[in-house]
Chain A
């Protein structure tokens, strides 16, 4: 036994570490924040890697280091068709050939957060991202944010699975990954958090919003370090010192127009999607067909290629004549519908921004023609139009307001944005518009909160194998466990694994350096038998009630039978997250 005793130096170190842990008080919530920050960092790095990979494939396909619009402008007509066709074919072949390799575990991050257990298949995500790389690099009219969010969320899920994190907390980490993906894609930290809160979780509770914000913030900081710190759409707009009634009415009119355009835009996307589904040809050919159609349009309108970023920038700089922009808008919507409908992996976020910016610009130019005294600025309307159409298509006005603001970092537009986004959102609801992300979230809402709460039990959120000791465990071993596991209570079990009580860190902390204790004090001498427990069958509502009378962060889960065997532990944070998730899913 003597050789097991810690040295004086070791006990001093243990004592210092416990004191430090007490000062820092790194509880469950603080640990979640630390992990959320790490996920944000991983999200930024994966986004950076994806961008670079997509640029490389674009160079391989076109032999050019410029954006999609410039590439299509420079390419001969036959190459304009060939590049997106080959890109679509490769993207489809990857999806087809790797279909069997894909795991049965869920592949979609939204399902993993809202409906699933937070587990996202590594292989499926990799296949989807590889396919998206070819579609995006070859000029498909889709956004990068889809694969960026997927990759970032998958990394969070991988981390959670590696650390055996319970499902309820894993969902939160996957949500943090998704927020980091959006934040790093658009250099927009608040939008990243709001995208997940408003669209996916449909709640802004602090248990969830805090980690989301932190993850988004770290992702944005890291992205700025890697890619530069300028806002995505840096335009110098005239200052809006005073907004008159006439201008306000004009912005409201833009909101109404976006509210009407959004259902039409979504209807076109879904109709083309259905059309492609009816085609009885293999998936690679569908994607190749989609690519060839986009390429054909790009011969005359190179602006339809890619996600539309460079065209948005030029719109916001007011460099367009309305007839040309109308033509491009029509073909861009068609190209987006064809890319989206053919099954290309990607998002429609940026194409939606393009459509909104074009609508706003065209609308303002029309106003200028008929009411020149209003003095409207088309670029400002373009920016507000982006937010308004996004608010209506995603059914998330708050996120749309913040995104348009973060994209330009122009605070002057906030009031017009608020008016246009809310009106666009409300108008689109008159048409019973289902948001672009409505599929997953609406199926989750089919279950009522009460039903979900009644069906939820501690077993679903309990963590297996909590740190525990036997009655015979020596004092030095107890001290080491307290330091290594950062818990306030160690559970004590007997030889049959029956729960006997807990050893409290509060009881032992001042004696950690006492060498005499090593010889005579064991866990059985320190155990406190009166400690609340729950059973796997205990409902979450009942567990919450037990927690309300208990100051600790965790409670042991014991078997219901006479044996009262220690099965796991449940944490207050996981319980709160589970309740918030269930409430938001039912909302």
Chain B
């Protein structure tokens, strides 16, 4: 049974990595990423998850830092924490056409009861992003080896954890 405090020590490995997003607008990117989760064991209702993310995004933008967005929603449409990383070399207009484009999108879905677990996850993810990708998200996202870098996330995550403690 998944509880509020479970999975704290789980490795920070995305359920899905989309190496090249086709679309270049925010809503299209959300739809494209959620579509990849159709049939995923952790997602019970992909459409409802997408709707929840859109609703959340309308409340307040989730652009974490220049080039990175953390799209997230707490919803019953997922039965445990699921997340994906999407890369757009061309970049996606998030705030306004003039604003810096987003090259790395992280999409998160979490059941409503997992508030603390969700916060810990976001904290660890944000820390990892700060430690390893601070040198330039757009450049890194354009790098062909980026997928390989992401797949080495557990090692990076453990380094981040030790720092935070």
Contact = CB atoms under 8 A, between A and B. Distances in A.
Interface of A: 471-472, 474, 504, 506-508, 510-511, 514, 516-517, 519-522, 524-526, 528-529
A522 B115 contact: no
Given A508-B119, A525-B72, A514 B60 contact: no
Given A507-B116, A514-B126, A524 B56 contact: yes
Contact of B119 (A471, A511, A519, A524): A511
B127 interface: yes
Contacts of A525: 56, 72, 74, 118
B153 to A, nearest CB: 17
B60 A472 contact: yes
Contacts of B72: 520, 525
Interface in B42-66: 56, 59-60, 62-65
Interface string B89-122: 0000000000000000000000010011011001
B70 interface: yes
A476 to B, nearest CB: 13
B115 A516 contact: no
A398 to B, nearest CB: 51
B127 A521 contact: no
Contact of B64 (A471, A506, A510, A519): A519
B123 interface: yes
Contacts of B62: 520
Interface residues of B, number: 20
B130 interface: yes
A64 to B, nearest CB: 74
A514 B119 CA distance: 10
Which 5 residue pairs are nearest across A and B when measured between Cβ atoms? A516-B126, A507-B115, A522-B60, A520-B70, A520-B62
Contacts of B112: 528-529
Contacts, number: 50
A471 B58 CA distance: 11
Nearest to B125: A516
Contacts of B74: 525
Most chain B beta carbons < 10 A, residue from A507, A514, A517, A525: A525
Contacts of B65: 519
Contact of B59 (A471, A510, A514): A471
A517 B122 contact: yes
Contacts of B122: 516-517, 520-521
A472 B59 contact: yes
B59 A516 contact: no
Given A516-B126, A516-B127, A517-B122, A528 B60 contact: no
Contacts of B119: 507-508, 510-511, 517, 521, 526
A101 B161 CA distance: 69
Given A506-B116, A525-B74, 9 more contacts: A474-B60, A507-B115, A507-B116, A516-B122, A516-B123, A520-B126, A521-B122, A524-B60, A525-B56
Contacts of A508: 119
Contacts of A528: 112, 115
15 contacts: A472-B60, A474-B60, A507-B116, A507-B119, A514-B123, A514-B126, A516-B123, A517-B122, A517-B123, A520-B72, A521-B122, A524-B56, A524-B60, A525-B74, A528-B112
Nearest to B71: A520
Contacts of B127: 516
Given A507-B119, A516-B127, A524 B64 contact: no
B123 A522 contact: no
